[in-house]
Every structure is written in structure tokens, then in C-alpha cells.
Amino acid sequence: MPETSTPHQTAETKKRDRGLLRIDTDECKGCGLCLEACPPKVIHLSERLNHYGYRTAVYDGAGCTGCGICFMVCPEPGAITVFRAVAEDNGHLPASNSAPVPALKGAAHA
């Protein structure tokens, strides 16, 4: 019998990314706070170590909502930058290859 997807699964797979993360591996200390705080769970720890010896956070590459919670919980200024996608004139989000607009940058951390 073939697997059927639920309406929830179908809606999730059709959603476009509303955000994008950039993680500076020189600043990240691998504390894992962003992993725990991320609602869509699109951040994980790298298997490799950076030059300081930390397993740093890595964005999975898709699924970011642009909420910025990871940025807010990160104790390292400049480690995480969150970009939010801007809707086009017709109200739709641009294609994933469009340039997102910076929403939260590490320099804003005080």
C-alpha cells in the first residue's frame, strides 16, 4: 500500500523559505543554544572542528522562517546573521535564489 502524505506534510513541503542564516564559524563557540531555540530545527552542530577546536553551528540550508530567535539567544556577537525574504509586489515571496534583506546582524548585539 503506498504511503499517503497528510495535509500538514504537503503544506510544509510547499512553503518557501522565509529567511536565511549565515553563521560565522570563527565566532561560533558551539554552545548549542541556537539549536535548541530554533522552532523549525534547521540548525545542527558540525562534525568538524573550527580552528579554535569548537564544533560550530551549521544551517541546514533550507527551512528558515527568519524569526531571529537563534540570533537572540546566541551569546557571541557576530556569530549569527539572520536574513528575511521580502515579499514581491504581488505578495508572494521571491524565489529562493533572490537576495534576502538583512534582518538581524551580530553587530546589533549589545
Distance, CA of 92 to CA of 3 (rounded, Å): 31
98 belongs to a structural domain: yes
Strands (DSSP E) found in the chain: 19-23, 43-49, 55-59, 80-84, 101-104
The pLDDT value recorded for residue 109 is 45
CATH of the domain at 35: 3.30.70.20
Enumerate residue ranges in the chain where pLDDT < 50: 1-14, 96-100, 107-110
Instruction: Kindly give, in sequence order, each residue whose CB lies less than 8 Å from that of residue 92, ignoring residues fewer than 6 positions away.
Output: none
64 belongs to a structural domain: yes
59 belongs to a structural domain: yes
The pLDDT value recorded for residue 53 is 94
2 belongs to a structural domain: no
76 belongs to a structural domain: yes
Domain count, the chain: 1
10 belongs to a structural domain: no
The model's pTM is: 0.67
